[in-house]
């Protein structure tokens, strides 16, 4: 499998122990997000937000890893600027 352009843009040290060429950005989504949250730089965090967005599951994982509350994040407390269709 060819290396995904999204994964290749992340910091190289995040995947030092795995074959980066074997990673699939959808199949290995949880693994990629976990590595970025645990060891990534701010630019890596921006990359996963842009690629995957922030859903309820991702927000819960972030809160667990960082020891914070969901109410600490604006995305969980505010209403969307553009209402759903």
The answer as to whether 84 is a domain residue is no
The answer as to whether 82 is a domain residue is no
> How high is the pLDDT of residue 57?
77
Domains contained in the chain, number: 1
User: What is the domain extent for residue 30?
Assistant: 5-77
The answer as to whether 83 is a domain residue is no
Residues 1-21 have a mean pLDDT of: 81
> How high is the pLDDT of residue 1?
44
pTM of the entire predicted model = 0.66
> How high is the pLDDT of residue 35?
92
CB-based burial, 2-15: b 16+ in 10 Å, e otherwise: eebeebeebeeebb
């Amino acid at each position: 499998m060819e290396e995904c352009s999204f994964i290749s843009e992340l910091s190289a040290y995040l995947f030092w122990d795995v074959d980066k060429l074997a990673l699939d950005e959808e199949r290995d989504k949880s693994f990629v997000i976990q590595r970025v949250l645990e060891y990534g730089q701010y630019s890596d965090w921006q990359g996963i937000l842009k690629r995957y967005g922030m859903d309820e599951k991702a927000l819960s994982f972030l809160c667990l890893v960082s020891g914070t509350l969901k109410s600490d994040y604006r995305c969980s407390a505010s209403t969307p600027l553009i209402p759903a269709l």
